[in-house]
Structure 1
């Protein structure tokens, strides 16, 4: 059994085939969207599979192009138990649109609070401090996907109650492994961020989140079945909050 708490299922070349394979393998998937207009089409990938859920998002890297979809985001939010991918990106080429990103994230956080809270999967590339500031006190559960911040930012995120989803690409780095060694075990989930990530030269599929569980077990120095059970228990507890 594998758990992929952050992948772009709709952006695989043949998404329905990938969804079918997830069903055959019993893979749990949180399928994130990059724009509210992708919501309806992405939701169709969940048909007949209770283990695939869709998150409603507006990705920070395209916030300047899609901010006019915030009204649609608000209209769809009542039907969405999960929100993502949202956040901020301070990387080259994206920092130029920082003010629009902030406007979009603040609107989304405000809408989530008014709606009573959601489980959120959050992008924080080159923007960890700002993201943590914006989600301080947010109603719901913020999950920092592919955390790349500093050790002090990690401590702050932990103190704020954030969860973390980690994937094979993150765990092949020394910094990523060190982060996992410090994150409370009861707040870790696995992900792939597929199809945008590779491992050993191959594009990661949702079921490849099992690679992350294997690497987590090595970091924790526990048998792999113990790590699998911890991550599974974490997902169950998270689902109970929604």
Structure 2
């Protein structure tokens, strides 16, 4: 990432290819100077996403296989591993233990575990991970399959317990905070508990919401003040931490 000195905000988890107009959304990120990590839900979308974002200064594509799809599309795992050789960014991957996806958890574990193994083998990978109702399993797999000096794990929209959060911290994870976490009681407690040197921001757009509408790139700037309010500190403290934490992520990539 060669434009870190010009970045105005950071979105470490966004579904750019699911926007109404991906090209217009990328242009918005460019105009606002928002670094955006564009996650991919299936590796078959990777070639188009890579092409779409090839000319962008601020938007980077990640290769992934969403856990909600892994039960049906696990045969695409080899394609994920092949594409991982082309990028430092991996996501969206992980586990989903919610009732509608719990039946595929064993398949999800095999897929996610194999992706973690490949990331560890290749090194220099940043992974944005989904852990809804499966935080403990995700963290245990991260601990067993990766080392923090080779794989930097970001837990996106974390909704586990405080004990699970602390376990994630001990495993070397960072946490990307979005507007949805600011709005719920549990989310605010977690936002207040994440060590400041592990805090990142995200939108999870188009799924994330801000003030009753779909979250947009610009909302990561507003998140700085919202996080500061939850933590009872000045916005400048959060802004400085985000710059330093993001530099750590960028320094990890090739």
Tell me whether the two structures share a fold, i.e. TM-score over 0.5.
Answer: yes
Q: What's the CA shift string for 1:65-100, capped at 9, x where partnerless? A: 211111111211111101111100000110011111
User: Counterparts of 2:124 and 2:112 in 1: how far apart (Å)?
Assistant: 14
Extract structure 1 runs of 4+ deviating beyond 3 A: none
Q: Structure 2: which 5+ runs fail to align?
A: 1-7
Q: What's the CA shift string for 1:153-205, capped at 9, x where partnerless? A: 11111111110000011111121111121111011100010001222221011
Is residue 225 of structure 2 the alignment partner of residue 218 of structure 1? no
Matches within 5 A, 1:97-112: 97-112=104-119
User: Counterparts of 2:211 and 2:228 in 1: how far apart (Å)?
Assistant: 19
Q: Structure 1: which 5+ runs fail to align?
A: none
User: Counterparts of 1:213 and 1:58 in 2: how far apart (Å)?
Assistant: 30
User: Counterparts of 1:123 and 1:47 in 2: how far apart (Å)?
Assistant: 25
Is residue 93 of structure 2 the alignment partner of residue 86 of structure 1? yes
Is the contact made by 1:145 and 1:164 (CA closer than 8 Å) also made in structure 2?
yes
User: Counterparts of 1:83 and 1:167 in 2: how far apart (Å)?
Assistant: 19
Number of aligned residue pairs: give it. 242
User: Counterparts of 1:66 and 1:115 in 2: how far apart (Å)?
Assistant: 23
* TM value normalised by structure 2: 0.92
1:117 CA drift (Å): 4.2
Of 59, 64, 75, the residue aligned with 2:66 is 59
User: Counterparts of 1:31 and 1:70 in 2: how far apart (Å)?
Assistant: 19
* TM value normalised by structure 1: 0.96
Give the stretch that moved more between structures: 148-157 or 41-50: 41-50
User: Counterparts of 1:189 and 1:199 in 2: how far apart (Å)?
Assistant: 17
2:34 aligned partner: 27
User: Counterparts of 2:225 and 2:50 in 1: how far apart (Å)?
Assistant: 30
Is residue 179 of structure 2 the alignment partner of residue 168 of structure 1? yes
Give the stretch that moved more between structures: 71-80 or 81-90: 71-80
User: Counterparts of 1:71 and 1:40 in 2: how far apart (Å)?
Assistant: 15
1:95 aligned partner: 102
User: Counterparts of 1:178 and 1:235 in 2: how far apart (Å)?
Assistant: 23
1:153 aligned partner: 164
Matches within 5 A, 1:1-242: 1-137=8-144, 138-139=146-147, 140-242=151-253
Superposed CA RMSD in Å reads 1.2
